Amino acid sequence: MRCVPCPIHLHPQTVWKWCRQGTMPVPVEQTPTGMYLIHDPRYENTQPVSTGGGRTVCYARVSSADQKDDLQRQADRLKAFAINMGVKSPEVVTETGSGMNDKRRKLNRLLADPTVGTLIVEHRDRLARMNAGLVESALKAQGRRIIVVDDTELDDDLVRDMTEVLTSFCARLYGRRAAKRKTDAALRAARDA
């Protein structure tokens, strides 16, 4: 059995045990290969989702080119999620770029395109590291929406965000070469305090 992170923070072994015992609080289906498919009503909808007449686009992003495999897996998960929601033919847009800046051409094109009614992202930070709520509010005012598949925030993401913010500030103050060294020194000082 392949273990995947549980959105309600259950240990994978607990989920596996509940599936085998038939005590899982949501419907479970076992495939002929032995894999358990857990049907969570919070994420599944048998009725097609109304997208307000607009297109539904799945947006997947990673920070660097060495995460290419993760980008494809993320895109596949988003497409499966959209199809499970009842979307007939979801578009998938993938992009490699930092979540800290606004220089992402593909995302900017999607946000500016009024025919995109629904934008699906895996985590809120895939849309933007900071101020994703502002983007969401602006789209909502236009009658468009963002669906976040997994809205839980992980602690390591917060640490990474803080490191990126410190790196950005240090880069401006001390120049690009010294930015990494200064960031590491600031993190060590913060840990020791």
* Rounded average pLDDT per 10-residue block, the chain, 193 residues: 53 84 82 76 53 79 85 89 87 85 84 90 81 82 88 63 74 66 81 79
Q: Do 131 and 168 belong to one domain?
A: no
- Annotated active-site residue 63? The verdict is yes
pLDDT of residue 177: 61
pLDDT of residue 48: 44
CB 126 within 8 A of CB 135: no
Specify the number of domains making up the chain: 3
Q: How far apart are CA 190 and CA 23, in angstroms?
A: 46
Provide the domain limits for residue 4.
Answer: 1-42
Q: Do 33 and 68 belong to one domain?
A: no
CB 126 within 8 A of CB 61: yes
Q: How far apart are CA 129 and CA 100, in angstroms?
A: 6
In this structure, which amino acid lies at residue 92? V
Of the residues 50, 63, 64, 168, only one is catalytic, namely 63
Q: Do 33 and 64 belong to one domain?
A: no
Q: Do 140 and 180 belong to one domain?
A: no
In this structure, which amino acid lies at residue 16? W
Q: Do 9 and 79 belong to one domain?
A: no
Q: Do 19 and 67 belong to one domain?
A: no
Q: Do 11 and 81 belong to one domain?
A: no
Pairing of strands 36-38, 28-30: antiparallel
Asked whether residue 49 is assigned to any structural domain, the reply reads no
Asked whether residue 97 is assigned to any structural domain, the reply reads yes
